[in-house]
Amino acid sequence: MPQGNRYKGLIDKFKAVLPVSDTTRFISLGEGNTPLIKLENIPALIGKNVDIYVKYEGLNPTGSFKDRGMTMAVTKAVEEGSQAIICASTGNTSASAAAYAARAGIKAFVLIPEGKIALGKLAQAMMHGAEIIQIKGNFDHGMQLVKEVAEHAPVTIVNSINPYRLQGQKTAAYEIVEALGQVPDYHCLPVGNAGNISAHWMGYTEMAQPENESAAGNYSKLAVNKRPVMVGYQAAGAAPFLKGEMIDDPETVATAIRIGRPQSWDKAWAAQKESAGWFDLLTDEEILAAQKLLTEKEGIFCEPASAASVGGAIRDIKNGKIPEGSTIVCTLTGHGLKDPDTAISQCVAQPQAIEASLDAVKAAILDKL
């Protein structure tokens, strides 16, 4: 057997701070270990002296941060003898659940809002062989139904109300501190169901106050009792945290965060309060503009919901809420290829077709130089 030091996924790497044992079979696709990329052009464009890093979670195996939580949730479901998992989803959770269920050899049921999930996510759930149940309702309706049906059927819920999901997702905070060699001053995330902001806060908190020295110990040396200010950005049409109460009929082009009744409501408020952070909202136009800016100026393609973190951070840097000299991490939750329709529809210049001749190609190039 080869004995290399191949990366074997985040449970293997972070097992000291995760609820697994020596006999646990890890259901892994090599998730985690995503790059923390420093933005080089945008800070200059906005004329501010800040260090902005993006945690490119779109480079997880199924193209979103959900894989961090799903590897844990499915690992534990299998360990507990479950034969089937179920989730409600705006798309990414369904893609991830479908993939990890396939890997584990168990069944996945996914409830998705009809017509409101991005094409790439639907393709993934279909290809991995999940049982796809489209409902004539939104994510919040699906979530309610999943909770009810799980009381009557032998299925394990793998939405972020499953505590193992947040355990897996907290590892992103550990990776950030490890990569930066310090705790960032600000951490900005898009907020939908509010699991991810809660999971990050859990990770940062463990590192700052390790209950178990040997476990979080390596990281606590870096963290030295500091935690970042947590900032959550929502889409204007789906912003219950801004309204201060749950909402019905959420609507946004960023379908991933088209959620009115976040399940991790209390945990996310705790993260905001304990970190002296804040919530804010972006219009769909602002979200899409941020997505375009990242692709055009930095070469980084994320899906619309993800761009809310960078769009919001840029605004709060410009208005001084995030001061110069700060180190800021923005989570890019999902890959841009997830939602090709929205991407193509916002490109004004559609590709032109010309004759397959040297003259025509030369003319087309010279025209643009």
**Residue 260 found at the interface with ligand F0G (CB under 6 A):** no
C-beta of residue 56 within 8 angstroms of C-beta of residue 294: no
Site string for ligand F0G, 189-228 (x = CB under 6 A): -xxxxxxx--------------------------------
Determine the Cα–Cα distance for residues 244 and 322; give it in Å rounded to an integer.
23
Determine the Cα–Cα distance for residues 131 and 13; give it in Å rounded to an integer.
31
Binding residue for ligand F0G, selected from 140, 303, 316, 339, defined by CB under 6 A: 303
Binding residue for ligand F0G, selected from 54, 78, 253, 257, defined by CB under 6 A: 257
**Residue 252 found at the interface with ligand F0G (CB under 6 A):** no
**Residue 334 found at the interface with ligand F0G (CB under 6 A):** yes
Site for ligand F0G in 163-192 (CB under 6 A): 190-192
CB of 198 to ligand F0G, least distance (A): 8
Question: Looking at beta carbons only, is 194 or 310 nearer to ligand F0G?
Answer: 194
**Residue 234 found at the interface with ligand F0G (CB under 6 A):** no
Question: Looking at beta carbons only, is 156 or 220 nearer to ligand F0G?
Answer: 156
Question: Looking at beta carbons only, is 220 or 301 nearer to ligand F0G?
Answer: 301
Determine the Cα–Cα distance for residues 156 and 135; give it in Å rounded to an integer.
20
**Location of structure tokens 């995760």:** 18
Question: Looking at beta carbons only, is 207 or 308 nearer to ligand F0G?
Answer: 308
Question: Looking at beta carbons only, is 210 or 253 nearer to ligand F0G?
Answer: 253
Determine the Cα–Cα distance for residues 198 and 202; give it in Å rounded to an integer.
6
**Residue 158 found at the interface with ligand F0G (CB under 6 A):** no
Angle of the 265-274 helix axis to the 195-208 helix axis, nearest 10: 50
Question: Looking at beta carbons only, is 196 or 220 nearer to ligand F0G?
Answer: 196
Residue 310: CB atoms within 10 Å: 28
Stretch that binds ligand F0G, among 27-35, 89-97, 126-134, 243-251 (CB under 6 A): 89-97
Residues in contact with ligand F0G, counted by CB under 6 A, come to a total of 22
Determine the Cα–Cα distance for residues 88 and 176; give it in Å rounded to an integer.
29
Q: Indicate the burial class of 325 (C-beta count within 10 angstroms; 0-12, 13-18, 19 or more).
A: exposed
Strand, helix or coil for residue 292 = helix
C-beta of residue 196 within 8 angstroms of C-beta of residue 338: no
Residue 58: CB atoms within 10 Å: 24
Which H or E run contains 332?
strand 327-332
Site for ligand F0G in 57-76 (CB under 6 A): 64, 66
CA angle at residue 37 from 302 to 35, to 5 degrees?
80
Question: Looking at beta carbons only, is 17 or 256 nearer to ligand F0G?
Answer: 256
Question: Looking at beta carbons only, is 138 or 220 nearer to ligand F0G?
Answer: 138
CA angle at residue 136 from 131 to 137, to 5 degrees?
105
**Residue 309 found at the interface with ligand F0G (CB under 6 A):** no
Nearest to 57 by CA among 209, 202, 200: 200
**Residue 240 found at the interface with ligand F0G (CB under 6 A):** no
Binding residue for ligand F0G, selected from 60, 90, 252, 272, defined by CB under 6 A: 90
CB of 83 to ligand F0G, least distance (A): 22
**Residue 92 found at the interface with ligand F0G (CB under 6 A):** yes
Stretch that binds ligand F0G, among 87-95, 125-133, 314-322, 358-366 (CB under 6 A): 87-95
**Residue 328 found at the interface with ligand F0G (CB under 6 A):** no
Stretch that binds ligand F0G, among 31-39, 178-186, 200-208, 298-306 (CB under 6 A): 298-306
Q: Indicate the burial class of 324 (C-beta count within 10 angstroms; 0-12, 13-18, 19 or more).
A: exposed
Strand, helix or coil for residue 270 = helix
By CB under 6 A, name the binding residues for ligand F0G: 64, 66, 89-93, 160, 190-196, 256-257, 303, 305-306, 333-334
